[in-house]
Amino acid sequence: MAAVQEPKKTPIGGYVGFDTIPTQIERKLLRRGFAFNVMLVGATGLGKSTLLNTLFAAHLIDSKGRFKVNEPPRQTTEIAPVTHHIEENGVRLKLTVIDTPGYADLMNNEHCLDPILKYIKDQYAHFLRKELTAARERYITDTRVHCVLFFINPSGQSYADDDDDDHGFSDAPPAT
């Protein structure tokens, strides 16, 4: 096996300018802005919308809670991504909130995560297809899920045996 040689330190004859590369990259990223896709998963009425609105100090999504005391909470019926453009001190953020159907709202919750996992995997597959095309776009819109906030019902008891299973979340590839 060939020995690995240490690179030689070569002095330069004048100023080249590669020390400004980090600043140039930062400027480019700030000009383009950042994208962040967050998915909210949990039973109806646990405060998913309220938490997200509080985290970003803005009214981003409507709570599906009660309008009247005796009214049952309204439920999300399908996976619905909603995109918001937020700016703070010149930094732009394209925030996509993916609200999911009320997880664990039914009596039999055996397959309640199936549509959520399908959505996550579909977004990764879509991004990979776009990235691997021969004539790919200059900037690919990232619809992959970067963060999943999983809300657990505070029942006062230990978590259910079903919560022990990762339901395939470990199969989702990490965000890059």
pLDDT tens for 110-131 read 777 888 899 999 999 999 999 8
Q: 101: domain CATH number?
A: 3.40.50.300
33 Cβ contact list (under 8 Å, min separation 6): 91, 92, 93, 94
Domain count, the chain: 1
Q: Tell me: the pLDDT tens digits for 149-163?
A: 988 888 755 555 555
13 occurs within a structural domain? no
CB-based burial label for 39 (10 Å; 0-12, 13-18, 19+): buried
10 occurs within a structural domain? no
User: Running DSSP on this structure, what letter comes out for residue 169?
Assistant: G
